[in-house]
Amino acid sequence: MSDTALRITEIFHSLQGETSTTGLPTVFVRLTGCPLRCGYCDTAYAFEGGTKILISEILDTVKAFGADCVTVTGGEPLAQPQCLELLEELCDAGYRVSLETSGAMPVAEVDPRVVKIVDLKTPGSGELSKNLYENMDHLQPHDEVKFVICDRQDYDWACLKVDQLNLRAKAAEVLFSPSQGQLAPKQLAEWMLADKLNIRMQLQMHKYIWGDQPGH
């Protein structure tokens, strides 16, 4: 087992609050650091600090929770190159592994067994220029693409990108998520229904259970 270390903000056991596995018990491994500063970020506490932990110790901690699913998140997990090794080790251990990434870091070398959740940054995020659209060419059929929608401009932009990038064919799911506190879920739902948009809308279920409390 690897003696490589990564800087970790937290490892915790919760319910998956987003994506197609919403509601499943999941262990979250939150890596420290992120090169982006999205206006709606809810994990700024992971920008710095953290503790260096060996991959072998991370796997021991994950195993103790007894869950089948593991999500590696951040921050931006791929900002630490050693994340690729962690993902591979988790897959080798038999977990159902997903990666939450901003889409600003290359995903080509991510283990193909990993379900990539790629968050394309909308204009309202303030980080539109950071999108690496070539990542869309490295999507596996099980991967998912997420848009956090702040306003009508974001919605129209996201609809355009879904078509331009042929995301319905490239990904298992395209996800539209209203930015909490900026766009009412009802408004996004009404736009999607009016446009007969065959895309999954999602809410951050964990926030409805635990609020913004870290570790959930």
The average pLDDT across 106-110 equals: 97
Q: The pTM is what? A: 0.93
Q: Which residues are 60's β-sheet partners?
A: none
With 60 as the cut, is the pLDDT of residue 122 above it?
yes
Q: Which residues are 147's β-sheet partners?
A: 120, 176
pLDDT in tens, 170-193: 999 999 999 988 999 999 999 999
Residue 208 banded pLDDT, cuts 50, 70, 90: confident
Residue 212 banded pLDDT, cuts 50, 70, 90: confident
What 3-state class would DSSP assign to 162? helix
> How many C-beta atoms lie closer than 10 Å to residue 109's C-beta?
12
**Degrees to nearest 5, angle at CA 26 with 141 and 177:** 60
**Cα–Cα distance for residue pair 101/69, rounded to 1 Å:** 17
The average pLDDT across 113-141 equals: 96
pLDDT for the residue 158 = 98
pLDDT in tens, 134-148: 999 999 999 999 999
Query: Strand 25-31 relative to strand 5-15: parallel, antiparallel, unpaired?
Result: antiparallel
Token representation of residue 190? 């009404």
Q: Considering the chain, what percentage of its residues have pLDDT values greater than 70?
A: 97
What is the domain partition of the chain in residue ranges?
Answer: 5-210
In CATH, the architecture of 5-210 is Alpha-Beta Barrel (3.20)
